[in-house]
Structure 1
Amino acid sequence: MSGISIIGLGNMAGALAGRALAGGNAVEIIGRDPAKAKELAAALGGATAGTTGTAPAGDIVILAVPYASAAAVVSEYGDALAGKVIIDITNTFNTDATGLVIPEGTSGAQEIAKAVPASAHVVKAFNTVFGHVLAQGRPLDVFIAGDDAEAKATASAFIKSLGLRPLDVGGLEMARWLEGVGPLLMGLARNGAGTFDIALGVDLPG
């Protein structure tokens, strides 16, 4: 299994940490509020609390922070992220979830990739899954995008350990379209589905 460091203390961080622990992974929780990080780690049982700004223990670092602060967070860690697989789970939609806040021709994941060391590789994943649905333990599809094959293989193995199915959509330029799924899901939940207890998946033949 893998060593996972999750930067963030929100619902998605907790849901990912819970499933990661259940899958036999070592989990480190990192947050700007040390007391809350220790509280979440204790509540999960088996997780440890890390220290903001020091080198994350995990080979996989999950960015579970708002997109607006994501680039600043990875810049703060600097060379401490060298050689890591960075899983970006951020969403880049606007306040009413009708569009994206990033300009045409790029994605949040690509902008984050500019701020990490050259030896670190960003993989977009999990932003198409609601945190409360992830926490339910259901088998779900997780769409991933990234430019480094080895990093995507590492992320895929981690996703499988959570009882989920990774589906590769291509290079990191595809992250923009994964980020566009956020407003799609929100619109579907508010309208046609009538519930936020939903998830997108692919029906493969055979």
Structure 2
Amino acid sequence: MSSISIIGLGSMARALGGLALKGGNTVEVIGRDVAKAAELARELGSGATTGTLGAVPAGDIVILAVSYSGSAQIVSQYGNALAGKVIVDITNPFAPGFTGLVSPDGSSATQEIAEVAPADAPVVKAFNTLFATVLTAGPADGRPLDVFIAGDDARAKAAVSAFAESIGLRPFDAGPLDMARRLEEAGLLMMGLGRHGVQHYDFSLGVTILH
């Protein structure tokens, strides 16, 4: 199984942390608010620990469960403390009102993070098309929840895929890192569907293999 460090204390951190522990992984929770981080670790249960923001994370996989606006800055502040880690970006750089993306044209939140990450810390996009409530509830009618993964490092994507499988998800390789922009656009599509066509957020995007 995997050793996971989660930077962030929100709903996605809680959902992924809980699933990670159930899947037999170790979980380190890291946040600016030390007391809240300790509280989340206690709520997650046995196997969850807390780390210090800026120190070398304990996990081999570091999940950025923070807002887009602060994600690249956090990675830059960590600097070489992230060397040798697999960094997983789950952010969606939505414009106000979900009218578009605020990441630069031709780029993505994930590529911005990769630009400031250590050279030996591959960055992978994943989990951005899954709502925290859906992750917590789990699959319905026996259909798996799919997670789409983009990145340039095959070993990093394999590590994230193995982690995804350990928490009951079905990973799909979406291609190289520049596909992260397309995954962020898929996240935007989901918000549009939730607000208009589906009219709630208890759904997920998935792949149906016909043959």
**Same fold, TM-score > 0.5, yes or no:** yes
CA distance in 1: counterparts of 2:72 and 2:28, whole angstroms: 20
Cα displacement string for residues 92-138 of structure 1 (whole angstroms, at most 9, x for unaligned residues):
11111120001211111000001110000000000001111111122
Alignment length (residue pairs): 206
Could you list the runs of 5+ residues in structure 2 that have no partner in the other structure? Answer: none
The residue aligned with 1:143 is 148
CA distance in 2: counterparts of 1:150 and 1:193, whole angstroms: 36
Give, as a single letter, the amino acid of the residue that structure 1 aligns with 2:29. Answer: I
Cα displacement string for residues 59-89 of structure 1 (whole angstroms, at most 9, x for unaligned residues):
0000000010001101111101001000000
**Matched residue SS, 1:169:** strand
CA distance in 2: counterparts of 1:13 and 1:114, whole angstroms: 24
The residue aligned with 1:6 is 6
Q: 1:205 Cα deviation (Å)? A: 2.8
**Matched residue SS, 2:6:** strand
CA distance in 2: counterparts of 1:63 and 1:191, whole angstroms: 29
Give, as a single letter, the amino acid of the residue that structure 2 aligns with 1:37. Answer: A
Q: 1:190 Cα deviation (Å)? A: 1.2
**Matched residue SS, 1:61:** strand
Residue 25 (1) aligns with residue 25 (2):
yes
Normalised by the size of structure 1, how large is the TM-score? Answer: 0.98
Residue 127 (1) aligns with residue 128 (2):
yes
Normalised by the size of structure 2, how large is the TM-score? Answer: 0.96
Q: Given the alignment, which residue of 183, 199, 205 partners 2:188?
A: 183
CA distance in 1: counterparts of 2:138 and 2:27, whole angstroms: 17
Residue 199 (1) aligns with residue 204 (2):
yes
Provide the aligned C-alpha RMSD in A.
0.8
Alignment check: 8 A CA contact 1:62 1:89 kept: yes
Alignment check: 8 A CA contact 1:19 1:137 kept: no
The residue aligned with 1:169 is 174
CA distance in 1: counterparts of 2:37 and 2:67, whole angstroms: 17
The residue aligned with 1:52 is 53
Q: 1:204 Cα deviation (Å)? A: 1.1
CA distance in 1: counterparts of 2:187 and 2:154, whole angstroms: 25
Give, as a single letter, the amino acid of the residue that structure 1 aligns with 2:21. Answer: L
Give, as a single letter, the amino acid of the residue that structure 1 aligns with 2:198. Answer: A
Give, as a single letter, the amino acid of the residue that structure 2 aligns with 1:183. Answer: L
Give, as a single letter, the amino acid of the residue that structure 2 aligns with 1:126. Answer: F
The residue aligned with 2:67 is 66
CA distance in 1: counterparts of 2:189 and 2:135, whole angstroms: 18
The residue aligned with 1:160 is 165
Cα displacement string for residues 25-67 of structure 1 (whole angstroms, at most 9, x for unaligned residues):
0000000000000000001102101111110000000000001
**Matched residue SS, 1:167:** strand
- Structure 1 runs of 4+ aligned residues shifted over 6 Å read none
The residue aligned with 1:108 is 109
The residue aligned with 1:39 is 39
Give, as a single letter, the amino acid of the residue that structure 2 aligns with 1:172. Answer: L
The residue aligned with 2:92 is 91
